[in-house]
Amino acid sequence: MEESNRHLFDCNQCLFRQLSTRVVPSDEFELIRRTSVQLHFEKGETILRQGAASHHLVFLHRGLVKFSYHYDSGKNYIMTIVTGPKLLGTANLFFRQTNIFSLVAMEDCDVCLLDGKALRMVAQRHGAFVLDLCERTTEMFESAIFNFISMAHKQVHGRIADILLYLWNYIYKTRPDDFVITRKELAEFAACSHENVIHTLSRFNKEGILSLEGRKIVIRDMERLQEISKRG
């Protein structure tokens, strides 16, 4: 983690500020701006740690992060993966004193840590701001819920197909050369073994559904992948 002496991004051009000042006067938003911290995280670094005291929301300006949950058994599960710009951690702000899950950088990330006390002070004066914060995190929870449904009702190959489609449609479609995810991360996302992932990807590769270039995944037959997802 690096706290830069220079600004990583211009607060006046920040999407979070632009959207927030639609419902919060600019002078009141200054409290949030003054108490926020701009940070750079390298790939693999933890932005928020599960179980640690919850003091901040995170606005992800640039980069890719995974929501990771660690079970007492020692296993990790990836709830979802998101790319910036996006507001993260709203559930912690209003409902928890500790972080429910960890946020881990999957590539270099620029973030703004937003002070929870400042956000609550502004939210108490502007009910529309609370609704706005909640609406902006709906997408993340929606993808996590659909992933749970997939795990409950589909076989391994159907779950992996769902994950590949999600990653393509919401993360890598505009930058296909970056479609890189480890087999371990796929296993944690699909709640299956590392061996299951290797076997399924090998099968998809042999059937011409995708090709593997190291860790890079290239989808060759989107229709067949969608059909596997539907059949489960």
Domain for residue 6, yes or no? Answer: no
Residues 131 and 159 in one domain: no
Per-residue confidence (pLDDT) for residue 208, from 0 to 100: 96
CATH number for the domain that contains residue 121? 2.60.120.10
Residues 76 and 17 in one domain: yes
Q: 164-177 in b/e burial notation, b at 16+ Cβ within 10 A?
A: bbbbbeebbeeeee
Residues 177 and 226 in one domain: yes
The one-letter amino acid code at 58 reads: V
Residues 136 and 175 in one domain: no
Residues 199 and 94 in one domain: no
Condensed to tens digits (0 to 9), the pLDDT of residues 141-156 reads 666 666 666 666 789 9
Q: Percent of the chain at pLDDT above 90?
A: 49
Residues forming a β-bridge with 80: 67
Kindly indicate the confidence band of residue 5, based on its pLDDT and cuts at 50, 70 and 90.
Answer: very low
CATH number for the domain that contains residue 191? 1.10.10.10
Residues 170 and 88 in one domain: no
Q: What angle do CA 11, 64, 142 make, to 5 degrees?
A: 100
Condensed to tens digits (0 to 9), the pLDDT of residues 34-60 reads 999 999 999 999 999 998 888 888 999
> What domain range is 125 assigned to?
11-145
* φ/ψ of residue 72, rounded to 5: -60, -25
Total number of domains constituting the chain? 2
Q: In what order do the strands lie in the sheet with 102-105?
A: 46-48, 102-105, 64-70, 76-83
